[in-house]
Every structure is written in C-alpha cells, then in structure tokens.
Amino acid sequence: MILIGLTGSLATGKSTVSRLLSAPPYSLPIIDADVLARRVVEPGTYGYRQIISKFLPTTPDLLLLHDDDSETSKLWRDRGLGQPINRAALGRRVFGEQPERRRDRAVLNGIIHPLVRFEMAKAVLWYHFLGHWAVVLDIPLLYESGLDVFCGVVVMVAVSDVEVQMRRLRDRDRGLSEQEARDRVGSQIGVGEKVERTRARGPRRGKVVQNDGGLEELGGEVKRVVSEIRGEGGGLLWEVWLWGSPVGAAGVAAWEVWRSWKVRRRWEQERVREKAKL
C-alpha cells in the first residue's frame, strides 16, 4: 500500500484535492489530520485536559461560553464533559512570529501531534488490512511535523502567488483581519519552499499540483498525478503480495522511510550550507 502525503499551505486548495481523491473514480481512503486534531482535543479527552491545563489560566476566552447555542456546544454540555475549545481564541494565541507565540505554538503542537500520529497509525493499519492500494494522509503541516518521511509519495498543492492564497483564506474565513491572515500564513513553511522540498524528492516520490485556475483545471492535475502514482506503484501482483505478507510489507515500509529520511536529511544539509553562504 502506498502512503500518499497530501499537503499544501493555507488556502491553496488542499481540501478540494482531498475531496476529489475521496470521490469516484479514485475513491481513496482519506486520513485527515485536521479531523483527528479536533477529535483528540474533544471535551473529556487527554488532549483536552492538557490544553486546558497549559492555556486556560492565561487565555480567558479559551472555552466556548456556556450559553453558546451551537449544536456542538450543546452536545458536550449535555454529556457533562465541559465546553469545547474556542479554536479561534486558541489560534489568536499561537499564530504569529512573535517569540511568545512561537513558544506557545510549540507547546500546542507537542500536545496534539503525538496524539494525531497514534490515531493515524491505527487508521493506516486498518486500511492496509482492507486491501487498499493507497491511502491519503491529508496533513497540512506534513513537512513541519516531520511526517513526510513516512510517505512513499508527497503531493503538494500550490499556488504561484501568495496574494491569491491570502485572498482565498480571507474569503473562506471572513472573520479574519488582514494581519491575522498574514500571521496564519506566516506560521507555516512558505509555498515556494514546500514546492522545492517536494521536487527534491524526485519525480516519482514528489508531485506538485498547481492550483491557479478553476476546478476543471485542478481536476485534470489530480487525474495526472493519480495516473502517475498508480503507474509507478509496482502493479497488482506486487500489491497483492504486500497485502498477504506482513513481514514483506514492513520491510518495504522501512525501506521507504529510510529513503525519505535520506532525502529530508540532504535537503536540510543543503539549506544549512545556503544560509552559511549569506
């Protein structure tokens, strides 16, 4: 089974690509890191208690108000597990490049990322035993979290102009000010750098989907990429053998991780050398 790491910066169209991949004719299973990130911090969970402990004393609006009439708020209130986390307030606390926000973001990631990885690992095993030829790991912070080393192929969704990205983000989240939008975009690795990192994996292991046009053009890009991945995957007999041989599948997975780690290590070394020249 091929692990396809789907990533992209904010408002580049990654979610649209994810929906296209999950629908016919591809019908690929999607493991959505954002969905898991919400699940592991639901009221009553270990992640929820950790966030409350770390951030509530200094973030008065961290929890949604008890008089919130949303369906989500009512659900958790009725279960007696506490109020949901106010994601907008938490975002204002951790997004941005100020030292204190970077520090808080690292604390938050240290809580959420291990829990999400555990849930992802369980889902990958489940889809492997079901016999899927590939599974998509939908991870916005794929490179930031280091999870790219576990992916046989990385698909990066990109736009060529950061202003297009900013406009799409503010159209999607209409409550964001221009500065808040820039803080959120700036908290991630830039689109250009992610594209370079993806291409550094080589044409077989790194695919870039350019999303500067409309849905029809994006659909064509997705079709091209899936055809390439399927054609380079080894064929049906190889897939059947891996499914029926846990030891063989584990060996292939370890080999892929090692190769991805080598690519990542080489990229990091080149970046260090480039900075040393400045």
**What pLDDT digit, counting tens, does each position of 97-151 carry?**
889 989 999 999 999 999 999 999 999 989 988 989 899 999 988 998 889 999 9
Q: What pLDDT, on the 0 to 100 scale, is given for residue 129?
A: 85
Q: Are residues 239 and 119 in the same domain?
A: no
Through-space distance between the first and last CA atoms of the chain, rounded to whole angstroms: 43
Q: Are residues 199 and 218 in the same domain?
A: yes
Q: Are residues 278 and 222 in the same domain?
A: yes
Q: What pLDDT, on the 0 to 100 scale, is given for residue 213?
A: 85
Q: Are residues 121 and 3 in the same domain?
A: no
Q: Are residues 18 and 141 in the same domain?
A: yes
Q: What pLDDT, on the 0 to 100 scale, is given for residue 9?
A: 83
* Residue 37 near residue 152 (C-beta atoms within 8 A): no
Residue 100 CB partners (closer than 8 Å, separation 6+): none
Q: Are residues 147 and 121 in the same domain?
A: no
- Domain's final residue, options 85, 111, 131: 131
pLDDT band at 70 (very low <50, low <70, confident <90, very high): low
Q: If 0-12 CB within 10 Å is exposed, 13-18 middle and 19+ buried, where does residue 112 land?
A: buried
Higher pLDDT pick, 254 / 17: 17
CB count in 10 Å sphere of residue 197: 22
Beta strands in 165-219 (DSSP E): 206-210
Higher pLDDT pick, 192 / 30: 30
Q: Which of the residue ranges 49-53, 168-172, 271-275 has the most confident prediction, judged by mean pLDDT?
A: 49-53
Task: Residue 114: give the domain boundaries.
Answer: 34-131
CATH at 148: 3.40.50.300
* Residue 165 near residue 18 (C-beta atoms within 8 A): no
Looking at the chain, the whole-number percentage of residues with pLDDT higher than 90 is: 43
Q: What pLDDT, on the 0 to 100 scale, is given for residue 267?
A: 82
- Domain's final residue, options 97, 131, 165: 131
Q: Are residues 108 and 166 in the same domain?
A: no
pLDDT surpasses 80 at 251: no
Q: Which of the residue ranges 45-54, 77-86, 171-180, 187-196 has the most confident prediction, judged by mean pLDDT?
A: 45-54
Beta bridge partners of 145: none
209: tokens are 């989907």
DSSP state for residue 9 in the 8-state scheme = -
Q: Are residues 83 and 217 in the same domain?
A: no
pLDDT band at 52 (very low <50, low <70, confident <90, very high): very high
Please identify which residue in the block is written with the tokens 């190769």: 259
* Residue 69 near residue 129 (C-beta atoms within 8 A): no
Give the helix/strand (H/E) hosting 14.
helix 14-22
Q: What pLDDT, on the 0 to 100 scale, is given for residue 76?
A: 53
Q: What pLDDT, on the 0 to 100 scale, is given for residue 271?
A: 80
Q: Are residues 90 and 194 in the same domain?
A: no
Q: What pLDDT, on the 0 to 100 scale, is given for residue 139?
A: 93
What whole-number distance in Å separates Cα of residue 222 and Cα of residue 237?
Answer: 25
Beta bridge partners of 153: 4
Report the mean per-residue pLDDT for the chain. Answer: 85
pLDDT surpasses 90 at 27: yes
CB count in 10 Å sphere of residue 274: 9
Q: If 0-12 CB within 10 Å is exposed, 13-18 middle and 19+ buried, where does residue 157 land?
A: buried
Q: What pLDDT, on the 0 to 100 scale, is given for residue 228?
A: 94
Q: What pLDDT, on the 0 to 100 scale, is given for residue 144?
A: 86
Q: What is the pLDDT of residues 190-241, one digit of tens each?
A: 888 899 999 999 999 999 999 988 899 999 999 999 999 998 865 555 455 4
- Domain's final residue, options 91, 110, 131: 131
Q: What is the count of structural domains for the chain?
A: 2
Q: Are residues 24 and 144 in the same domain?
A: yes
Give the helix/strand (H/E) hosting 30.
strand 30-32
Q: Are residues 155 and 276 in the same domain?
A: yes
Q: Are residues 22 and 114 in the same domain?
A: no
Q: What pLDDT, on the 0 to 100 scale, is given for residue 117?
A: 92
Q: Can you tell me the mean pLDDT for 16-38?
A: 95
